[in-house]
Amino acid sequence: LTEEKLGQTERTQYDAEFEALLLLADRSEKWTERMAKASEAVMQPNPAYRVEDFFSGKLEAAGHRRRERPSPLEELGSALVAASSEIGGIGVDEGGGGGIKFTAQTSSDGAAATARYAKSLALAGHAELRLAQLEADFLASCGSAFVAPLRAHLAGDARSLRKERRSLEIFRLDLDWARTRLRRCGDDEAARRAAEQECDKMEAEFEHQLRVTRLLLEGVNATHDYHLNCLNELVAAQLNYHSECLNRLQQLQRQMADKTE
């Protein structure tokens, strides 16, 4: 290896197709890792919370209960509902079909503007809580449909490929060293025969490892097909999430218009 770095010896070269497969595998692994990290950042923008969630997942797998953390939308919705109760004495029940029933009214001498404001706070609060649930469902779909397959690939096939590539590099170095020793045998016939046997043995082991590594490299294309399906599932989940959010906000807008007229 040192002589190779110094340019003092020859090295076995891979064919152009194999080199292209190696390059594709390197690029695929690099961008799969980046896509997984970027997706996790979308799911949880706070890096400290991402670290906490990582260790919480490990503890949960060991039988410990995960600590629930409300999302910003949940906190906003809860604050709006609590504000409506404090300001106007409004209690609400959200029934089936997204309809809201008011269980109390402001006092008869309360200002009409305050009553309208409190009712709108209640409506908006329950809408935000619904949006929080939609967001949680979407993030769960994003994790299972897209991030989990990427992480599984990095921890499984990609790791196995790295291991086989390291083995291939070791076998290549052994073969090149055996060939170098063969060239340096000179006129010593006994040493030459021993070096030839060693060279044949190293070449057979190298060729076997080369075939194994090539098979794994050729599987990268199949992995891309699978990840494409995962990407389609992610886009479908995003479309459904934003569509549901739009419908809920439009419903909220109509309800607030009715209450303020």
> Measured between alpha carbons, how far is 125 from 81 in angstroms, rounded to an integer?
5
State the pLDDT at residue 261.
57
* Residue 100 located in a structural domain: no
State the pLDDT at residue 258.
81
3-class DSSP state for residue 234?
Answer: helix
- Give the chain's domain count: 1
* Residue 133 located in a structural domain: yes
* Residue 23 located in a structural domain: yes
> Measured between alpha carbons, how far is 80 from 123 in angstroms, rounded to an integer?
9
- CATH number at 210 reads 1.20.1270.60
* Residue 176 located in a structural domain: yes
State the pLDDT at residue 59.
47
* Residue 3 located in a structural domain: no
State the pLDDT at residue 134.
96
Please write the tens of the pLDDT for every residue from 48-93: 776 776 556 554 555 555 567 788 999 999 999 999 988 876 555 5
* Residue 190 located in a structural domain: yes
**What range defines the domain where residue 204 resides?**
16-54+70-86+109-258
State the pLDDT at residue 56.
61
- Please state the pTM of the whole predicted model: 0.78
State the pLDDT at residue 68.
73
pLDDT below 50 — which residues of the chain?
59, 106, 109
* Residue 209 located in a structural domain: yes
**b/e 85-112 (16+ beta carbons within 10 angstroms → b):** bebbebebeeeeeeebebeeebeeeeee
State the pLDDT at residue 137.
94
* Residue 254 located in a structural domain: yes
State the pLDDT at residue 106.
46
